[in-house]
């Protein structure tokens, strides 16, 4: 019988066909789950290939994404010490592309640009024109902000980037309303430190919108929580409410603390 | 059945003994150096960066050394037996070829488990030492400062604890082991029909790399429209059917980067690996049974 | 009920039209390593497999152990088809130029092979003691095999083949590379094994030795079996007679010669001994000599 001579080949074909079908379905399932868990933030394309060079590309293709990202990040640190700001920016972009889920890449990357690069450019002695210096400063602050924004978008479950964005809006851009909004985002993330809850209030006060600030503090005050737990900082909330109620001349009957 | 397991164990143990007597574990020294250097070289980076570097480089080194052993070691298993004709003496005993092959593979798995275990112990030692040193430094710096500084030090100590004793590292190590098992399995399968160890190493490495692109091929095969021509479609389909998806082990990087990776996901990947290895071994046995020695 | 076609369990080895062809790469030819071989080995006999280099002895033994698959034909060991694991339970094998695991010592080697044969515990310990003594390897039991001499390797190989107390032994050139004393010891060992009731099939080039121990021999050439039979049958020259006398004076010898001629005997030489196995061997495979004559191509088994 002829089939008998080829029985190994037939078995092979059967096993592979059955397994192949199961395999493809299984892998699709794993990939769907990974997407839900927000892994796979990057795709290998020509741009990435050009920027990484052959060695790192091989590392990436051998399954060492984390190590490759670390090496890129070490280049960020080097370029930062050498004040090569455009290189810092492109390396930050690269490392965050490789590992968008590692928060410090966004957090520190944005900080390098918005704080270090901007200050360095403003104090640039080679540029006599002050206007130009300020323009450059502004440019780098905005680049940092963009990194924070992209980071926050990629990591909605992280409060750190929102907090940094709040700080940037507050200290660098003096856009206190935007800062208040960013801090509100940060405080809303589960697991964020509770003191962040008060920050939108501080920012709105800084923005001159005392009424809105009071609303923030009042909302905190009426949360069903134990006001004696020191972490919640209700002594500070109470102090701010009293001060704002006095400042805004809120009618006694409408005050929290009449 | 029981006898069969007995013989498999004898062959596996012999394979492990051979590797250990050839001082394969010397690789541990190199690993120790890498772990210690990556643990203490980057002292002026932030806490999160330091721990990431340590974990990435240590688990990466485990992976590289494991891959070396899995690739080079497995590729030589059969050629050595055949060249030295020791295989004749084994198969002349009441031993099935399948038992021989499974025994060899189990020996390699045991070797990989031993090396991974020892490297993990070194790794844990380094990371716990680092934890101790960093906590001591925090405590020293916070001594005699105000309440706010002390609260910050406490926050840092909490973070150091969390980073150093991350239980998810167990998942990372298991997944690394699974990856090595797949590579060893591939090498063994290829060596059942290869004519030289070099060929096996080269081909296995190629399959390993292609495995990292399998998801791309699969996506193009499943969703690619008319722009993918028929021949390419067949090629992509065959590739998706045969080559394992090595990207599923990239979860290791996600774990170190701090993503929450549920155990259910890890177990799913591990079961995929298990079934894949069963298929791999069945195919290897089918081919090896036909082989002339 | 046994038909003439069913294998007989009382035969140690039964081979029917066993053939092995190898495709020669880069040539559109096949090499017939073993050609339509029919052979039987009876239980309890010592069987010598003879033949020049490349005549297919090792190939035959490998097929009997299912290390390679026959292209044609079948073979049985004690009635079991050779490709079953049962057939191999009753067989011990010493390959030609054996190499074992260099990193194991003598004891560990035997322990490993004993384990493969399903032995363990005290039974295995005792067997190892016994075999180490039997093959005379007391000085090598805790030395790694990488430090073994050729003769020691051959001995550990023999011990390994005997570990599970097989009924039948296949020894491929058991004395190759062993010095005359060692080779004599191995020969004595084979005799002892036969006395223990075991069947031994061995291949060798040392014809003197084969002559000393083998009950029956087969001579192969270019994959074919040329002759097979008991040594007595093969070596006795049927149409000749040999007298052996002591203290016979030359004159008396002359008288006897004349008497034989008177009675019709011819071509008498009183001192001629029995045909040696070597003579038989050379006669059987005379192509070697033919090849030495100019213009005559050496025959091969390529087709
Ligand atoms: N794997 C193989 N591929 C091709 N030809 C082979 C192979 N193995 C053996 N042969 C050929 O088969 C023939 C018989 O070889 P075999 O080893 O059986 O001879 P032998 O009688 O044992 O010789 P020796 O006395 O030298 O050991 C030889 O011509 C050999 O070249
Ligand atoms: Mg031979």
Atom of ligand 1 nearest to the CA of C20: 12
Which of C21, C33, C94, C287 best tests ligand 1's pocket when mutated (most atoms within 8 Å of CB)? C33
Q: Is C30 in the pocket of ligand 1 (CB under 6 A)?
A: no
Q: Which of the listed ranges B61-75, C177-191, C243-257 does the model predict with the highest average pLDDT?
A: B61-75
Q: Minimal Cα distance from A27: which residue of B?
A: B245
Alpha helices by DSSP H, chain C? 57-64, 85-89, 106-116, 121-135, 150-162, 180-195, 207-213, 231-235, 250-262, 277-284, 287-292
Instruction: Look at residue C1 and tell me whether its pLDDT is greater than 70.
Output: no
Output the CA torsion sign for B287, B293, C6, C12. negative
Interchain CB distance below 8 Å, A101 and B259: yes
Q: Where are the domains of chain C?
A: 11-90+166-236+276-292, 240-273
When mean pLDDT is compared across A200-209, C189-198, C229-238, C247-256, the lowest value belongs to: C229-238
Q: C-alpha distances in angstroms, B232 versus A44, B217, B220, B224, B226?
A: 20, 10, 10, 10, 11
Instruction: Look at residue C109 and tell me whether its pLDDT is greater than 90.
Output: yes
Tell me the pLDDT tens digit for each residue of A111-169: 999 999 998 988 888 888 888 989 999 999 999 999 999 999 888 888 999 999 999 99
Interchain CB distance below 8 Å, B265 and A37: yes
Instruction: Look at residue A40 and tell me whether its pLDDT is greater than 70.
Output: no
CA C6 / ligand 2 centre spacing (Å)? 30
Exposure string for A142-167, b = 16+ CB within 10 A, e = fewer: bbbbebbbbbbebbeebbbbbbbbbb
Structure token pair of residue B161: 């604890």
Protein residue with least CA distance to atom 29, ligand 1:
C54
Interchain CB distance below 8 Å, C160 and B89: yes
CB A189 within 8 A of CB A155: no
- Candidates A117, A123, A121, A94; CA nearest to A106 is A94
Averaged confidence pLDDT in chain A:
87
- Chain A residues with CB inside 8 Å of B249's CB? 63
Interchain CB distance below 8 Å, A16 and B241: yes
Q: How confident is the model at residue A104 (pLDDT cuts 50, 70, 90)?
A: very high
Rounded to whole angstroms, the Cα distance separating A90 from A80 reads 12
Output the CA torsion sign for A41, A43, A45, A48. positive
Rounded to whole angstroms, the Cα distance separating C157 from C169 reads 12
**Residue A184: strand, helix, or coil:** helix
Residue whose entry in the numeric block shows the structure tokens 């907090």 = A163
CA A122 / ligand 2 centre spacing (Å)? 87
Interchain CB distance below 8 Å, C95 and B89: yes
Query: Residue C243 has what pLDDT?
Result: 66
Judged by its nearest atom, the ligand closest to the C-alpha of residue C59 is 1
Protein residue with least CA distance to atom 11, ligand 1:
C33
Tell me the pLDDT tens digit for each residue of C259-272: 777 777 666 665 54
- Chain C residues with CB inside 8 Å of B6's CB? 115, 118, 120
Rounded to whole angstroms, the Cα distance separating B48 from A105 reads 10
Structure token pair of residue A162: 């929102």
Q: Is C54 in the pocket of ligand 1 (CB under 6 A)?
A: yes
The long-range contacts involving B111-114, CB below 8 angstroms and separated by at least 24 positions, are B111/B15, B111/B16, B111/B19, B111/B20, B111/B24, B111/B69, B111/B73, B112/B66, B112/B69, B112/B70, B112/B177, B112/B180, B112/B181, B112/B184, B113/B177, B114/B16, B114/B20, B114/B25
For the segment C56-77, the average pLDDT, to the nearest whole number, is 92
Instruction: Look at residue C105 and tell me whether its pLDDT is greater than 60.
Output: yes
Protein residue with least CA distance to atom 22, ligand 1:
C58
Interchain CB distance below 8 Å, C101 and B85: no
Judged by its nearest atom, the ligand closest to the C-alpha of residue C22 is 1
Q: Is C183 in the pocket of ligand 1 (CB under 6 A)?
A: no
In this structure, the number of other CB atoms found within 10 A of the CB of residue B38 comes to: 21
H/E stretch holding C294: none
Domain C11-90+166-236+276-292 has CATH 3.40.50.300: yes
Which of B274 and A4 is assigned the larger pLDDT?
B274
> Which of B9, B85, B94 comes nearest C95 by C-beta?
B85
> Which of A11, A20, A70 comes nearest B242 by C-beta?
A20
CA C296 / ligand 2 centre spacing (Å)? 26
CA C89 / ligand 2 centre spacing (Å)? 23
Interchain CB distance below 8 Å, B10 and C95: no
Protein residue with least CA distance to atom 5, ligand 1:
C22
CB B90 within 8 A of CB B11: yes
**Cβ contact C–A (≥3 pairs, < 8 Å):** no
Interface test with B, best of C71, C101, C120 (most B CBs within 10 A): C101
**Residue B232: strand, helix, or coil:** helix
Judged by its nearest atom, the ligand closest to the C-alpha of residue C57 is 1
Q: Where are the domains of chain B?
A: 2-290
**Residue C266: strand, helix, or coil:** coil
Instruction: Look at residue C254 and tell me whether its pLDDT is greater than 90.
Output: no
**HEC sequence for C50-74:** ECCCCCCHHHHHHHHCCCCCCCEEE
CB B228 within 8 A of CB B197: no
Burial class of residue B251, CB neighbours in 10 A (0-12, 13-18, 19+) = buried
Query: Residue C54 has what pLDDT?
Result: 87
Structure token pair of residue B44: 């002026």
In this structure, the number of other CB atoms found within 10 A of the CB of residue A253 comes to: 6
**Residue C17: strand, helix, or coil:** strand
Side-chain-facing half-sphere of A220: CA atoms under 13 Å? 27
| CA A55 to centroid of chain Cα atoms | 29
| CA C171 to centroid of chain Cα atoms | 6
Residue whose entry in the numeric block shows the structure tokens 């066909």 = A17
- Chain B residues with CB inside 8 Å of A63's CB? 63, 179, 212, 246-247, 249-250, 252
Q: Is C160 in the pocket of ligand 1 (CB under 6 A)?
A: no
Interchain CB distance below 8 Å, B283 and A12: yes
Burial class of residue C46, CB neighbours in 10 A (0-12, 13-18, 19+) = buried
Protein residue with least CA distance to atom 16, ligand 1:
C56
> Which of A33, A63, A102 comes nearest B265 by C-beta?
A33
Q: C-alpha distances in angstroms, B267 versus A38, B178, B242, B251, B273?
A: 18, 11, 22, 12, 10
The CA distance from B249 to the nearest CA of chain C, in Å, is 36
Q: Which residues contact B212 (CB under 8 A, 6 or more apart)?
A: A61, A62, A63, B246, B247
- Chain C residues with CB inside 8 Å of B16's CB? none
Query: Residue C3 has what pLDDT?
Result: 47
Interchain CB distance below 8 Å, C95 and B92: yes
The CA distance from C245 to the nearest CA of chain B, in Å, is 51
Residue whose entry in the numeric block shows the structure tokens 């044969």 = C117
Tell me the pLDDT tens digit for each residue of C202-246: 998 777 778 888 899 898 888 888 888 887 777 766 666 666 667
Q: Within chain B, which residues score under 70 in pLDDT?
A: 225-226, 228
| CA C189 to centroid of chain Cα atoms | 14
Rounded to whole angstroms, the Cα distance separating A210 from A248 reads 8
- Chain A residues with CB inside 8 Å of B279's CB? 15-16, 19
Interchain CB distance below 8 Å, B18 and C112: no
Atom of ligand 1 nearest to the CA of C57: 21
Which of C54, C98, C202, C225 best tests ligand 1's pocket when mutated (most atoms within 8 Å of CB)? C54
Would strands C11-23 and C168-172 be described as parallel, antiparallel, or unpaired?
Answer: unpaired
C11-23: strand order across its sheet: C30-42, C11-23, C72-77, C80-81
> Which of B245, B253, B258 comes nearest A27 by C-beta?
B245
Query: Residue C18 has what pLDDT?
Result: 93
| Terminal CA-CA length for chain C | 41
**Cβ contact C–B (≥3 pairs, < 8 Å):** yes
In this structure, the number of other CB atoms found within 10 A of the CB of residue B29 comes to: 10
Q: How many residues does chain B have?
A: 293
Burial class of residue A176, CB neighbours in 10 A (0-12, 13-18, 19+) = buried
H/E stretch holding C146: none
Rounded to whole angstroms, the Cα distance separating C259 from C265 reads 9
Residue whose entry in the numeric block shows the structure tokens 């005359």 = C180
Tell me which residues have their CB within 5 A of the ion that is ligand 2.
C 58, 96
Which of C21, C27, C50, C55 best tests ligand 1's pocket when mutated (most atoms within 8 Å of CB)? C55
For the segment C281-301, the average pLDDT, to the nearest whole number, is 60
Q: Which residues contact C277 (CB under 8 A, 6 or more apart)?
A: C207, C208, C210, C211, C217, C231, C235
Query: Residue B179 has what pLDDT?
Result: 96
DSSP string, A110-143: HHIIIIIIHHHHHT-TT---HHHHHHHHHHHHHH
Q: Is C174 in the pocket of ligand 1 (CB under 6 A)?
A: no
> Which of C86, C98, C118 comes nearest B89 by C-beta?
C98
Q: How confident is the model at residue A44 (pLDDT cuts 50, 70, 90)?
A: low
Q: Minimal Cα distance from C67: which residue of B?
A: B293
CA A33-A37-A39 angle, 5° bins: 95
CB C70 within 8 A of CB C18: yes
Interchain CB distance below 8 Å, B86 and C100: yes
What ipTM, to 2 d.p.?
Answer: 0.90
The CA distance from C174 to the nearest CA of chain B, in Å, is 14
Q: Is C53 in the pocket of ligand 1 (CB under 6 A)?
A: yes
């Amino acid at each position: 019988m002829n089939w008998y001579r080829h029985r190994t080949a037939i078995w092979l074909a059967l096993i592979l066909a059955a397994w192949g079908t199961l395999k493809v379905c299984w892998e699709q399932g794993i990939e769907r789950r990974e997407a839900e868990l927000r892994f796979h933030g990057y795709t290998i394309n020509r741009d990435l290939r050009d920027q990484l060079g052959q060695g790192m590309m091989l590392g990436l293709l051998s399954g060492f994404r984390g190590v490759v990202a670390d090496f890129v990040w070490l280049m960020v640190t080097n370029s930062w010490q050498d004040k090569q700001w455009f290189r810092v920016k492109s390396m930050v972009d690269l490392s965050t592309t490789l590992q968008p889920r590692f928060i410090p890449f966004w957090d520190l990357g944005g900080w390098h640009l918005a704080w270090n690069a901007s200050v360095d450019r403003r104090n640039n002695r080679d540029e006599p024109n002050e206007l130009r210096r300020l323009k450059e400063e502004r440019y780098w602050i905005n680049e940092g902000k963009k990194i924070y924004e992209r980071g926050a978008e990629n990591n909605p479950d992280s409060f750190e980037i929102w907090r940094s964005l709040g700080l940037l809006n507050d200290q660098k851009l003096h856009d206190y309303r935007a800062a208040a909004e960013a801090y509100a985002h940060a405080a809303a993330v589960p697991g964020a430190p509770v003191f962040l809850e008060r920050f939108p209030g501080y920012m709105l006060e800084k923005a001159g919108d005392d009424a809105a600030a009071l609303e923030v503090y009042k909302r905190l005050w009426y949360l069903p929580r134990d006001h004696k737990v020191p972490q919640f900082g209700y002594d500070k909330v109470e102090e701010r409410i009293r001060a704002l109620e006095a400042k805004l001349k809120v009618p006694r009957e409408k005050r929290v603390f009449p | 059945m029981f006898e069969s397991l007995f013989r498999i164990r004898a062959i596996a143990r012999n394979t492990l003994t051979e590797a250990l007597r050839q001082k394969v574990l010397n690789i541990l020294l190199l690993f120790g150096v890498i772990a210690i250097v990556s643990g203490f070289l980057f002292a002026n980076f932030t806490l999160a960066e330091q721990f990431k570097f340590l974990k990435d480089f240590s688990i990466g080194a485990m992976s590289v050394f494991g891959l070396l052993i899995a690739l080079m070691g497995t590729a030589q298993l059969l050629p050595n037996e055949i060249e030295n004709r020791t295989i004749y003496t084994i198969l002349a005993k009441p031993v099935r070829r399948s038992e021989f092959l499974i025994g060899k593979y189990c020996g390699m798995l045991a070797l990989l488990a031993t090396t991974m275990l020892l490297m993990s112990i070194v790794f844990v030692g380094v990371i716990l030492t680092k934890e101790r040193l960093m906590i001591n430094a925090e405590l020293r710096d916070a001594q005699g400062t105000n309440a706010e500084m002390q609260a910050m030090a406490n926050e840092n100590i909490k973070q150091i604890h969390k980073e150093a004793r991350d239980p998810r590292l167990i998942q990372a190590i298991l997944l690394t082991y699974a990856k090595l098992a797949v590579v060893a399995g591939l090498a063994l399968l290829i060596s059942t029909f290869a004519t030289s160890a070099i060929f096996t190493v080269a081909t296995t490495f190629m399959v390993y790399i292609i495995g990292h692109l399998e998801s791309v091929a699969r996506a193009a095969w499943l969703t690619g429209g008319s722009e993918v021509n028929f021949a390419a479609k067949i090629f992509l389909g065959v590739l998706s059917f045969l080559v394992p998806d090595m990207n599923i082990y990239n979860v290791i990087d996600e774990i170190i980067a701090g993503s929450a990776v549920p155990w259910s996901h890890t177990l799913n990947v591990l079961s995929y690996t298990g079934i894949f290895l069963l298929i791999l071994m069945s195919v290897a046995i089918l081919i090896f049974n036909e082989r002339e020695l | 009920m046994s038909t003439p076609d069913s294998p007989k369990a009382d035969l140690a080895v039964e081979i029917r039209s066993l053939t092995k062809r190898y495709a020669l790469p880069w040539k559109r030819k096949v090499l017939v390593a073993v050609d339509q071989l029919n052979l039987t080995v009876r239980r309890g006999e010592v069987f010598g497999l003879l033949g020049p280099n490349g005549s297919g002895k090792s190939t035959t033994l490998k097929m009997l152990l299912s290390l390679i698959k026959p292209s044609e034909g079948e073979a049985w060991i004690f009635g079991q088809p050779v490709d079953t694991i049962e057939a191999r339970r009753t067989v011990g094998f010493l390959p030609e130029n054996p190499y074992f695991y260099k990193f194991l010592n003598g004891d560990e080697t035997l322990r490993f092979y004993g384990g493969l044969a399903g032995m363990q515990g005290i039974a295995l310990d005792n067997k190892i003691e016994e075999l180490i003594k039997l093959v005379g390897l007391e000085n090598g039991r805790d030395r790694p095999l990488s430090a073994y001499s050729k003769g020691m390797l051959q001995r550990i190989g023999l011990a390994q083949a005997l570990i599970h107390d097989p009924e039948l032994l296949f020894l491929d050139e058991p004395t190759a590379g062993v010095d005359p004393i060692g080779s004599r010891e191995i020969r004595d060992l084979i005799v002892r094994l036969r006395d223990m009731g075991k069947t031994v099939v061995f291949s060798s080039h040392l014809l003197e030795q084969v002559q000393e121990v083998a009950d029956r021999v087969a001579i192969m050439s270019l994959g074919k079996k040329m002759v097979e039979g008991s040594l007595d049958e093969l070596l006795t020259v049927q149409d000749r007679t040999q007298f052996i006398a002591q203290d016979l004076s030359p004159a008396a010898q002359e008288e006897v010669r004349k008497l034989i001629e008177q009675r019709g005997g011819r071509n008498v030489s009183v001192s001629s001994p029995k045909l040696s196995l070597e003579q038989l061997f050379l006669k059987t495979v005379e192509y070697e000599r033919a090849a030495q004559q100019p213009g005559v191509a050496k025959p091969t088994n390529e087709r």
